[in-house]
Structure 1
Amino acid sequence: MAERKAMPGLTPPGYWHLAWHSRGNPRSVLVERRAVAVNAALALAIAVVGVLYLSLGSVPVSPGEVIAALTGRGDMMTTFMVQELRLPRLAAACFTGAAFALAGVLMQTLARNRLATPGIIGIDNGATAFAVASILGMGFSIAPPAMALAGATTAAAITFGLSAGSGTQGYRFIVAGIGVGAVFGALTQFILARVPIDTANAAYPWTVGTLNARSGSAVWLLGMGLAVGLVLALVLARSLSLLRFKDAVACGLGVKVRACRLQVLALSVVLTGLAVAVAGPVGMVALIGPEIARSLSSARHVPVLAATLAGALVMLLADLAGRTLLAPIEIPVGIVTAVVGGPWLLWILMRPQRSRP
């Protein structure tokens, strides 16, 4: 029987120190109190906004009816509307927002730059171009999720190659990514210009980011990828915290810098490709989610879980606003996040970065 006890004498300020014996071996873990409070608050906010998300629409439903429908105790029509029509879109919003924000915080940590999100360095646009080519049947028979992943990988490889000599650090990497993103954005517009206008109009909302009528299989694949990616990111959490320092310092503290960077980069690319395959290029979530998490969390660690939850919350709020503000006209979620994210980007540029203790 494992024995678990708190060790207050050895606990740093702001932490819980849990120690126990398992199979005769001592085990211990430090749990940051602020991180627990922030993650719990974000999860509670997602739950509240989720109920509101399921309640509002062309046919309003009270929160009580929503909860009854989710537990199978509501009337048939309400249950169908909540479970079959609105709940899948809610899941798509949560998964895509979480994936974009997780990829964003990983990429920002890798580049040591708050602007280095997958959208800004061209990964979003690469995934979009390849996925659009697949959707419009431009000589490809591969499914959009696979093509989006291939496009994200291609864009990341080109950006990394063009920034040779600086790696993933410095503004050369950012500038190379912006250029790659511009090229892939132009390629997407070229593809749309080559197809009939009706076909291009049908594909256009997807290119700016939307959650309307998303493929159930793509959402399921994203959910599985997000679960695995989040576990891997949490495993890499200590190395991520050390990667914020110079390579010599991280190496001296036991981090295999090159291998860790490749792992983080691959994880960011996969998460971005899967998210773009579902919602299109909603890049600003990868900027806003991590920034919210950092503003709420302490500066000691990379807020992996908090950024993931904040991204899901931002995507839920943005899609809810897009569905309801000008109803019955629906604003694509990518446009909503762009309107909010533009001023946010300017605020990030003007706001001094918080120093680490």
Structure 2
Amino acid sequence: MLRWRRDVAERRLIGLSAALALATALFLAWHLRAPVGLILSLRFEKLAALILVGAAVGAATVLFQTAAGNRLITPGIVGFDALFVFLQTSLVLTLGGAGFSQIPVLPKFLIETLCLSLAATALFATLLRRGADDILRTILTGVILGFLLRGLANFAQRILEPSEFAVVQQATIASFGSVDGQLLWIAALALGIALALAWRMAGQLDVAALGRSKALTLGLAYDRTIVLALTLVSVMVAVSTALVGPVTFLGLLSASLAYRATGTHRHAVLVPAAALIGATILVAGQFVFERALGYQSAMSVVVEFAGGLLFLVLVLRKERR
């Protein structure tokens, strides 16, 4: 019976891969005209950003939910998006709109990634000193810090000139059409390593998902596993956020669909499934957004709206139970 369930889950994983391949083919080949080489190069850059961010956010959410023992939360709840908005607002306030636009792309990306990663690592390391069973306090502290940073960012934005405020607005909304090609290789390397490590520790995550007491009984170094998982979450979310901007509810959408699509709790299947679903949502969504909607709305807004609705549905369903 167990082997049959594994076979079904793996076949569904193959189906998710096929869905991503189809969405990729449509995205690249739809209405392809001359000059083919130039158009394909532009589409490849955007496609790479969509796949990297979708895969990273989806996988990171599965790891975060396992560490927290709660499938209703996402890494964004700890304040990644608020810190990113605060950083952009601070830079515009300090340098001005013209100075902000002149910051070299690569140093800006590296600094933002480093700040986001260090902030998350410091939060986890400081609050988990008494053990990984204190994850709830960590999450609540992250939520409070997120509100604080949003408040500071909103205050700073009120004293900006209208033109500078427009620069902040543009910089803080997730955008896949303006990703610099030189950043993709760095992001791909960092996210590839993080995803590979997450998949390698799948067995440990399966045991950790049983809870602290059961995991310790089974001989798992629970605290070490949770800290490592949260470190990988920090890296994946920091890189993806610095690359395109915050996409808070994409992870919740990807992880929830991954659990439902695979019908298993094995992280060896869940992690790649969430990564594939996250990438497929972004690629297919961007395809529909560009072709069907004609750039009439921001795709990230649509994804966030769908993820927010799913969050409300999950919360209400749990309350009824």
Q: Which has the higher strand share?
A: 1
Determine if contact 1:128/1:188 at 8 Å carries over to the other structure. yes
Higher relative contact order (CA 8 A, sep 6+): 2
Q: Deviations over 1:61-110 (max 9, x none)?
A: 3xxxxxxxxxxxxx7512321x2221210110010011111111111110
Comparing 235-244 and 205-214, the one that deviates more: 205-214
Q: 1:115 to 1:242 in 2, by over 3 A?
A: same
* Aligned twin of 2:76: 119
Q: Residue type matched to 2:59 in 1?
A: L
Q: CA deviation at 1:172?
A: 4.3
Q: 1:351 aligns with which of 304, 309, 317?
A: 317
SS at match of 2:238: helix
Counterpart in 1 of 2:298?
Answer: 332
1:48 corresponding residue in structure 2: 22
Counterpart residue type for residue 286 of structure 2: D
1:55: Cα distance to partner? 4.1
| Deviates most, 230-239 or 154-163 | 154-163
Residue 284 in structure 1 maps to residue 249 in structure 2: yes
Moved more, 172-181 or 339-348: 172-181
Larger CA Rg, structure 1 vs 2: 1
- Residues 9-60 of structure 1, C-alpha deviations (whole Å, 9 max, x = no match): xx95326xxxxxxxxxxxxxxxx3123212211111111111222245xxx3
Q: Which amino acid aligns with 1:254?
A: G
Asked if 1:97 corresponds to 2:54, the answer is: yes
C-alpha separation between the residues in 1 aligned to 2:23 and 2:85? Answer: 29
- Counterpart for residue 80 of structure 1: 38
Which 10-residue stretch deviates more, 188-197 or 142-151?
A: 188-197
User: Match of 2:201?
Assistant: 236
Q: Which residue does the alignment assign to 1:110? A: 67
Structure 1 residues 40 and 241: CA distance shift in structure 2, 3 A:
same
The match for 1:209 among 148, 168, 174 is 174
Aligned equivalents of 1:79, 1:194: Cα separation in 2: 45
Deviation at 1:352, TM superposition (A): 4.6
Q: Describe the superposition over 1:310-351 as per-residue Cα deviations: whole angstroms up to 9, x where unpaired.
A: 11111223333433454243x333211111112111122133
Pick the structure with more helix per residue. 2
Give TM-score, length-normalised by structure 1.
0.77
In structure 2, the partner of 1:14 is: 4
Question: Who is 2:116 aligned against?
Answer: 151
Q: C-alpha distance in 1, partners of 2:68/2:211? A: 11
Match of 1:18 in 2: none
Alignment CA distance shift 1:223-1:188 (3 Å): farther
Alpha-carbon shift at residue 255 of structure 1 (Å): 1.4
Is this contact kept in 2: 1:221–1:274, CA < 8 A?
Answer: no
After superposition, the C-alpha distances for 1:185-218 in whole angstroms (9 at most, x for unaligned) are 2333345445443233134133121112112222
Q: Percent identity?
A: 24
Count of matched residue positions in the alignment of Structure 1 and Structure 2:
309
The counterpart of 2:275, out of the listed 308, 319, 329, is 308
**8 Å contact kept, 2:9–2:264:** no
Change (3 A) 1:131 1:14: farther
Question: What whole-Å deviation, never above 9, does each CA across 1:244-301 have from its counterpart, x for those lacking one?
Answer: 1221211222211111111111110011110001110011111111111100123341
Q: 1:125 to 1:156 in 2, by over 3 A?
A: farther
Unaligned runs of 5+ in 2: none
| Amino acid paired to 2:245 | G
What TM-score results when the alignment is normalised by the length of structure 2?
0.84
In the alignment, residue 214 of structure 2 is paired with which amino acid?
Answer: V
Distance (whole Å) between structure 1 residues aligned to residue 70 and residue 198 of structure 2: 18
> Structure 2 counterpart of 1:50, which letter?
T
Query: What root-mean-square deviation, in Å, do the aligned CA atoms of Structure 1 and Structure 2 show?
Result: 2.9
Structure 1 residues 255 and 295, CA gap change in structure 2 (3 angstroms): same
* Aligned 8 A contact 2:249 2:303 in 1: yes
